[in-house]
Homo-oligomer: A and B are copies of this chain.
Amino acid sequence: MEAVDYLAEERRKAEFDVEEMKIVWAGSRHAYEISDRVSRLVASDPVFRKDNRTMLSRKDLFKDTLRKAAHAWKRIIELRLSEEEAKTLRFYVDQPAYTDLHWGMFIPAIKGQGTEEQQQKWLPMAYKMQIIGCYAQTELGHGSNVQGLETTAKFDPQTDEFVIHSPTLTSSKWWPGGLGKVSTHAVVYARLIIDGQDHGVHGFIVQLRSLDDHSPLPGITVGDVGMKFGSGAYNSMDNGVLRFDHVRIPRNQMLMRVSQVTREGKYMQSDVPRQLVYGTMVYVRQTIVSDASRALSRAVCIATRYSAVRRQFGSQNGGPETQVINYKTQQSRLFPLLASAYAFKFVGEWLKWLYADVTQRLEANDFSTLPEAHACTAGLKSVTTSATADAIEECRKLCGGHGYLSSSGLPELFAVYIPACTYEGDNIVLLLQVARFLMKTVSQLGSGKNPVGTTAYMGRVEHLTQCNCEVQRAEDWLKPSVILEAFEARAARMSVACAKSLSKFSNPEEGFAELSADLVEAAVAHCQLIIVSKFIEKLQQDIPGKGVKRQLETLCNIYALYLLHKHLGDFISTGSISPKQGALANEQLRLLYSQVRPSVIALVDAFNYTDHYLGSILGCYDGNVYQKLYDEAWKDPLNETVVPDGYHEYIRPILKQHIRNARL
């Protein structure tokens, strides 16, 4: 059969150079080249097939995951892939596995919290995967409140060991990925107890399983926590439960970079400041923001392509119906998500820079930017993951009924993505941290301590609480300076309003608790400002390629004006803009949708996703949706027989009116 590109016409309409945009999306030509090559490599390897994943039983799915992880590792070694290439390969395998935690949490924890000596001992083994590790912090009864963990690590001076113990049911470790069935080791967080004194929560390297036969070591009870959301999805991961019954480890397996316990049982702080651990958090959360743009762009790619294929209503004189992507409602739901994907991409890139900057400063003993960087990454993690989770489901709805089929890829994408709103900090708890930082920033205004980084605009609070938005015509909303000021004014005014309300409480903690819902909204406003401003900053760079920058400008405006419309109440009630100006923004937004419309297929092509990675019939590159949907249906196990198993026992007796006597 000849290959037809059902979206060829759409591709011809693009008003910019797609190949150049691919490089912008990837971040650099180098990154593009790796991503392109490795994604094809994965797509063409039969071991990495995933199209039947949602039909596998838990056990088969898990075994399939072990196989893929092993095969990936084999390929990485055989092809001598660089660290970056290896990471890219794991990413495109697109199946959560214990390796994510080994590379993403276990190793970084040792790097961040282990002494030089500890790093030299453990990291080489970990890099070679002679040991496999996970990150065991959360317990059945304690997640967000890490300081409330119950697991204990008692120092035994007689043997120079720590005794790790789970004193209660609720102290069972619960959730760590890779723990349930695979990890041989874990970084375990436990309360350090010396001579009856509680020194708070610390990390310990604990071996869990025998390296000979994989059986759990004495005193260790370990297993999988059971099925999670959806089919396929995160069920490939062995999130685990773990109980310790007085498990002994040598003293030198406490991660001692920041604080130590001596042979004599003396607890000491090293000169390495505690804030160092924030560095790791900035790193991990930056990767989560990057992942948000990838998950979001994937969903958007599916919904956009399908919306161009799908036709409904509006046929004239027996001609074809209207592509649903031409409906303004469809555009107003979809295009802002496309714009968000780009926005999150660029803020993610900026976070990478921020992490590098923070690391450099830390090495020079400069901790001044750390609190701001910490708050900002916490907030961006929260805002981008929440938006992405919602957006994936919206993309599914944008596909109408067919979005509900597993073969659309969207159900599994949703199910596998949503825990990002919860792990590495519950999104609301994170926003409360941001709010706390904002209130501190406001309270210090005028004290000579100038707000830095993403809070620098607070330094202009007087102006921002008084300025008037100068928009008079719809097109005035296209000026970056106008958009920026509106977002700054809104964020600043919301923070200041919260601070004012807070000051009426005699007990500030009570006030904070009482006003916390408003504080969360102020934090969101602040984070959205960051994203908008980083998008605008990106556009101040040189961006080569015919029409590329132009498209990005349109997307930036769509993103900003969409947020403005969505949070119109904030903008107007703070007086940052007038109702009339809000209406003009909405008008401009409609024009922007028309403007971007011809290019949207090319804008999702620029993500350069293979059909393998997309994993969606609705999003397939060639748009040949219906034939593929039809063919796929017949593969369901239910279709192995025409008359279903159970007919004789459970259907026929009904039809034949024998149900009373049927044995069911």
A interface, CB within 8 angstroms of B: 47, 54-55, 57-59, 62-63, 66-67, 69-71, 73-74, 77-78, 128-132, 138, 140-145, 148, 169-170, 172, 174-175, 180-182, 184, 211, 213-216, 222-231, 234-235, 238, 241, 311-313, 315, 321, 327-333, 389, 393, 396-397, 400-401, 403-407, 411, 415, 418-419, 421-423, 426-428, 432, 513-518, 520, 565, 567-575, 579, 582-583, 586, 590, 626-627, 629-630, 632-639, 642-647, 649-655, 657, 659-660, 662, 664
* Also in contact, A67 and B650, with CB within 8 A (given A238-B638, A626-B141): yes
- Interchain Cβ contacts under 8 Å between A and B, 9 examples: A66-B647, A172-B630, A182-B644, A215-B642, A226-B636, A228-B405, A231-B235, A329-B520, A574-B579
- The distance in angstroms between the C-alpha atoms of A126 and B421, with both chains bound, is 48
The docked-state distance in angstroms from the alpha carbon of A515 to that of B655 is 52
Task: Indicate which residue in B67, B142, B228 contacts A649 across the interface (CB closer than 8 Å).
Answer: B67
Complex contacts, A331 vs chain B, CB 8 Å: 517
Main secondary structure, interface of A, reads helix
Q: Is the CB of B226 within 8 A of A327?
A: no
What's the minimum C-beta distance from A215 to chain B, rounded to whole angstroms? 6
Given known A-B contacts A73-B654, A517-B590, A225 and B633 have beta carbons under 8 A apart: yes
| A655–B211 touching, CB < 8 Å | yes
Residues of B within 8 A of A58 (CB): 55, 636-638
* 13 other A-B residue contacts (CB within 8 Å) besides A214-B651, A404-B419: A47-B664, A70-B653, A129-B654, A141-B311, A144-B400, A172-B630, A174-B401, A175-B401, A238-B644, A327-B513, A329-B432, A333-B428, A568-B568
Q: Which residues of B contact A77 (CB under 8 A)?
A: 659-660
Measured between C-beta atoms, what is the minimum distance from A216 to chain B in Å? 6
Neighbour of A62 across the interface among B238, B516, B638, CB < 8 A? B638
Q: How far is the CA of A520 from the CA of B333 in the complex (A)?
A: 12
CB closest residue in chain B, given A63: B646
| Interface pair B638/A145, CB less than 8 Å apart | no
Bound Cα distance from A657 to B136, whole angstroms: 25
State the Cβ distance, A157 to closest chain B Cβ, in Å: 25
- Known interface pairs A415-B230, A651-B214. Does A630 touch B400 (Cβ–Cβ under 8 Å)? no
* Complex: A450 Cα to B633 Cα, angstroms: 52
Complex contact B649–A70 (CB within 8 A): yes
Q: In the complex, are the beta carbons of A140 and B329 less than 8 A apart?
A: no
Whether A229 pairs with B226 at a CB distance below 8 angstroms is no
- A8 to chain B: closest CB distance in Å? 19
Closest B residue to A423 by CB, please name it: B401
CB distance from A48 to the nearest CB of B (A): 11
Q: Are B70 and A664 in contact (CB under 8 A)?
A: yes
Q: Could you tell me if B636 and A227 are in contact, using CB atoms closer than 8 angstroms?
A: yes
Decide: A128 and B664 in contact? CB cutoff 8 A: no
In the complex, which residue of chain B has the Cβ closest to the Cβ of A56?
B57
Nearest B residue (CB) for A243: B630
Residues of B within 8 A of A662 (CB): 70, 74
Instruction: Give the CA-CA distance A659 to B406 in the complex, in Å.
Output: 34
Minimal Cβ-Cβ distance residue in B for A67: B650
Q: A403 CA to B229 CA in the complex, in Å?
A: 9
Known A407-B226, A664-B70; judge A579-B573 contact (CB<8 A).
yes
Residue contact A421 to B405, C-beta cutoff 8 Å: no
The smallest beta-carbon distance between A607 and chain B, in angstroms, is 24
Set of chain B residues within 8 Å of A660, measured between Cβ atoms: 74, 77-78
Nearest B residue to A580 via CB reads: B573
CB proximity of A631 to chain B, nearest CB, Å = 10
Residue from A181, A226, A651 whose CB has the most chain B CB atoms within 10 Å: A226
A230 and B228: CB pair below 8 A? no
**CB-based contact A145/B313 at 8 Å:** yes
Contact between chains at B62 and A646 (CB < 8 Å) = yes
Interface contact B145-A70, CB-CB below 8 Å:
no
Of all chain B residues, the one with the shortest Cβ separation from A61 is B638
Q: Is the CB of B572 within 8 A of A643?
A: no
Chain B positions within 8 Å of A222 at CB level = 642
Contact A405 B649 (CB under 8 A): no
Nearest B residue (CB) for A211: B655
Given A148-B321, A215-B642, A227-B231, check contact A418 B432 (CB 8 Å).
no
* Cβ contact of A404, chosen from B422, B586, B636, cutoff 8 A: B422
| A408 shortest CB reach to chain B, Å | 9
Neighbour of A643 across the interface among B213, B396, B634, CB < 8 A: B213
Report the Cα distance A566→B349, complex, angstroms. 32
- Name A180's contact: one of B130, B632, B638, B645 (CB within 8 Å): B638
In the complex, are the beta carbons of A415 and B411 less than 8 A apart?
A: yes
Q: How far is the CA of A590 from the CA of B515 in the complex (A)?
A: 9
Residue of B321, B397, B423 near A145 (CB, 8 A) is: B321
Could you say which residues of chain B place their CB within 8 Å of the CB of A181? 638, 644
The closest CB in chain B to the CB of A210 belongs to B643
Cβ–Cβ < 8 Å partners of A426 in chain B: 400
- In the complex, what residues of B have CB within 8 A of residue A518's CB? 586
Decide if B70 touches A227 in the complex (CB within 8 Å): no
Max chain B C-beta neighbours (<10 A), residue from A180, A586, A639? A639
CB < 8 Å neighbour of A659 from B62, B74, B649: B74
Bound-complex Cα distance A145 to B329 (A): 16
In the complex, how many angstroms separate the beta carbon of A473 from the nearest chain B beta carbon? 16
Once the chains are docked, how many angstroms separate the CA of A638 from the CA of B570? 49
The listed residue (B332, B423, B655) touching A132 by CB distance below 8 A is B655
Q: Counting chain B CB atoms within 10 Å of each CB, which of A213, A401, A565, A660 scores highest?
A: A401
Name the CB-closest residue of B to A568. B569
- In the complex where A70-B649, A579-B575, A629-B140 touch, is A57 in contact with B54 (Cβ < 8 A)? no
- List residues of chain B with CB within 8 A of the CB of A655: 129-132, 184, 211
Does A516 lie within 8 Å of B329, measured CB to CB?
yes
A214:B652 contact, CB within 8 angstroms = yes
User: With A and B bound together, what is the CA distance between A216 and B401 in angstroms?
Assistant: 25
Contacts of A67 in B (CB 8 A): 646, 649-650, 664
Closest B residue by C-beta to A180? B638
